[in-house]
Structure 1
Amino acid sequence: MKISLPKSIVILAALAVPLSATIAQEKFPSEPIRLIITHAAGGTTDMAARVIQPYFQKAVGVPVVIENMVGAGGNIARGYVFRQKPDGYHLLVSQQPSMSSGEIVSGGKFKVLQLTHLYNIAGKNYNCVAVPFDSPIKTIEDMKKASQREPLTTAGTGIGSNAYIVAMLIKERVGVNVTYVPFNSGAQAALAVAGNRTQMGAGALDSYFPLHAQKKLRILAVTGPARDESHPEIPTMKELGYPQVTLDQMTGVFAPPGLPKNRVDVLIAAFHKAMEDPEFKAAAAKAKITLQPLAGEQFLKASHEMYDTIQGLKDVLKSGVRKKKK
């Protein structure tokens, strides 16, 4: 005997199906995917996204659109993606540990470790410390002495960014007095240093090195745990006697919390295929991007370690954040 359920029960049963389960059953992908970039065009985060975009697009089978959503040191983009429906069509490209700093230090409206960690693209693109080419400052010790008279204006990306972390480490652990001046991208910050608009700068080596090569600014050191593979002639802060100023970094792709596993698998497979494309590897080498592929849980583990590092530096990093007047 055929039993028909009251319409109200059928409707309630349909409403009880979780959103994630409904999303998981839909064909994916079937519409354009947006890559939301935390900083302006020309910076290292943007560069990593633009180099991989055509190869990811080919691998995933739908248009992939890049959108630079600048502001609040990257927190505008991070908060936006965090709030989106977990359907795989809004992806965030951001650096770590600056994203952890954005949450812990700047109070960003997102939770780093709740984001779906898809794929890390690049790493070991260490930050550097630089001064204008004609600056009388030749060493870190010169920088320290010069800052005793008055704080040195220091260019970098937004509050909480990797450049900001470096500036605060130099301030608190080396004793260089700084006044931090944030820009929307590393390229803009480097131009400010080269143009003598600030007395020093901190930021991704790839943003600063072209102007270093043109003798418009001088890079004094990199802040990574080892010399940068692309420019091994530049010493580390550790080699110069300042091991307390060391910062690793990576640039990866994240999705909103709760992305269904089948969609995670599709996106990871597409990124992996793109990363293995010989043409992509050649393009990355030409752009001097050091690749560091990490997928899923492996990526989350590395991200978690950076998050824990920033938690340990919280008091140091908050020293440069101005308190709002009541």
Structure 2
Amino acid sequence: MLKIFAAALVAASMGMGVPAAAQEPTASYPSKPVRLIVGYQAGGPTDLTARLLATKLQAAFGQPFVVENKPGAGSNIASEFVANAAPDGYTLLIAAAPITMAGFMYKNLKWNVQDSFEPVSLLMSAPAVLAVANNVPAKTLPELLDLARKQPGKLSFGSTGNGGTQHLAGEMLKNRAGIDILHIPYKGAAGAMQDLLSGQVTMAFMTSVSAVPLLKEGKARPIAVAAEKRLPQLPQVPTMAEAGVPGFVVDSWNGMLAPKGTSPAIIARLHAEVAKAMAAPDVREKLEAQGAVVVGGRPAEFRTYIREEVSHWDKLLKTMHIKLD
């Protein structure tokens, strides 16, 4: 969960007091277009966050900030691409929660989330919402679990791809509830949502950023929110704990990472403008209306958050025994 860290820790990690000589080479940054790499298809929640941010940063810096989608392998393709990029501030990653899980699920990664990147800012966090297709008779979580137990292996859940937050949320539900449901991975949120809305898959854990508008329109039926408290945007929908599965909290989040070795002065410049962008009323309104918590936190806070997420998923995945290669 998001935490507020001591100001002293933040100040120490922000590189305050960096000598002027070290900052001088970055005085003109950026002097050319900056690439924001997204490991998912266009149209999903991470892509939405990246494009909202790109517009603000382009206006602030006077240089193009171009969103490039490099989907595949649970966003690992994009992560490796940025990890291997020059640490000059011109290739940045708009990361999502699966980046902190990948090291436990893939054997041969050539990067490490804690060692291959410089944190810039945690941008936003959004809970997962369990929704079912409108042709599913279950109206509540207990009814859905009862249906699954009566038809082992027959019901399905869609996700944005192997190793993603939605995939792991579904595996958690199988593990906690003792049910057998079939995982259907897609290459992004768009495909998973399309087949949920058409009834081709039974259920999906949808990020609230993409779920709330569709659920309010009645295109799928919300069953429960994987959060500690109900969403104001869906006040009638219980939490997973209220619905009978305690301790079931799954957050999707987005953050900006730079390649390891990027100048502290560049990181500081980026963070300052990212914080302003995420605090902009139109950005906050767009994201908060869809159930997101806007953060815009400092590099030290994001580094601590990543460390805590890695520890959390390490413990959890050991109980589920999931490996993808």
What range is the shorter-chain TM-score in? 0.7 to 0.9
Deviation digits for residues 71-128 of structure 1, max 9, x if unmatched?
A: 01111111111111111111111212x21112221344321112111011111x1101
SS across alignment from 1:126: strand
Deviation digits for residues 17-46 of structure 1, max 9, x if unmatched?
A: xxxx99973542111100101111111111
SS across alignment from 2:184: strand
Tell me which residue corresponds to 2:210: 207
Tell me which residue corresponds to 1:102: 102
Shift of 1:178: 1.8
Tell me which residue corresponds to 1:257: 260
Q: Please say if residues 58 and 65 of structure 2, whose CA atoms lie closer than 8 Å, have aligned partners that are also in contact.
A: yes
Shift of 1:172: 0.7
Equivalences for residues 1-326 of structure 1 within 5 A: 25=25, 27-96=28-97, 98-107=98-107, 108-114=109-115, 115-123=117-125, 125-148=126-149, 149-151=151-153, 152-285=155-288, 289-319=292-322, 321=323
Q: Please say if residues 141 and 244 of structure 2, whose CA atoms lie closer than 8 Å, have aligned partners that are also in contact.
A: no
Shift of 1:237: 0.1
Distance in 2, Cα, partners of 1:129 & 1:316: 22
Distance in 2, Cα, partners of 1:264 & 1:254: 9
Tell me which residue corresponds to 1:8: none
Q: Please say if residues 187 and 208 of structure 1, whose CA atoms lie closer than 8 Å, have aligned partners that are also in contact.
A: no
1:75–1:315 distance in 2 versus 1, CA, 3 Å: same
SS across alignment from 1:113: coil
Shift of 1:144: 2.4
Pairs aligned (count) = 300
Q: Please say if residues 154 and 179 of structure 1, whose CA atoms lie closer than 8 Å, have aligned partners that are also in contact.
A: yes
Q: Please say if residues 187 and 207 of structure 1, whose CA atoms lie closer than 8 Å, have aligned partners that are also in contact.
A: no
1:318–1:67 distance in 2 versus 1, CA, 3 Å: farther
In structure 2, give the amino acid aligned to 1:223.
Answer: A
Q: Please say if residues 168 and 316 of structure 1, whose CA atoms lie closer than 8 Å, have aligned partners that are also in contact.
A: no
Distance in 2, Cα, partners of 1:52 & 1:65: 10
1:25–1:186 distance in 2 versus 1, CA, 3 Å: same
SS across alignment from 2:51: helix
Distance in 1, Cα, partners of 2:201 & 2:71: 22
Q: Which has the larger radius of gyration?
A: 1
Distance in 1, Cα, partners of 2:250 & 2:288: 23
Q: Please say if residues 105 and 317 of structure 1, whose CA atoms lie closer than 8 Å, have aligned partners that are also in contact.
A: no
Distance in 2, Cα, partners of 1:223 & 1:83: 34
Distance in 2, Cα, partners of 1:259 & 1:230: 39
Distance in 2, Cα, partners of 1:144 & 1:230: 25
Q: Please say if residues 154 and 181 of structure 1, whose CA atoms lie closer than 8 Å, have aligned partners that are also in contact.
A: yes
Shift of 1:158: 1.3
Distance in 1, Cα, partners of 2:317 & 2:158: 21
Q: Please say if residues 154 and 199 of structure 1, whose CA atoms lie closer than 8 Å, have aligned partners that are also in contact.
A: yes
Distance in 1, Cα, partners of 2:73 & 2:36: 18
Distance in 2, Cα, partners of 1:79 & 1:268: 22
SS across alignment from 1:236: coil
1:170–1:280 distance in 2 versus 1, CA, 3 Å: closer
RMSD: 2.2
Tell me which residue corresponds to 1:15: none
SS across alignment from 2:295: strand
Tell me which residue corresponds to 2:10: none
Shift of 1:255: 0.8
Deviation digits for residues 244-266 of structure 1, max 9, x if unmatched?
A: 32223321111111111111111
1:35–1:153 distance in 2 versus 1, CA, 3 Å: same
1:23–1:109 distance in 2 versus 1, CA, 3 Å: farther
In structure 1, give the amino acid aligned to 2:25.
Answer: Q
SS across alignment from 1:118: strand
Question: Which sections of structure 2, spanning at least 5 residues, go unmatched?
Answer: 1-20
Shift of 1:315: 2.4
Distance in 2, Cα, partners of 1:283 & 1:142: 34
Q: Please say if residues 227 and 250 of structure 2, whose CA atoms lie closer than 8 Å, have aligned partners that are also in contact.
A: yes
Q: Percent identity?
A: 27
1:55–1:288 distance in 2 versus 1, CA, 3 Å: farther
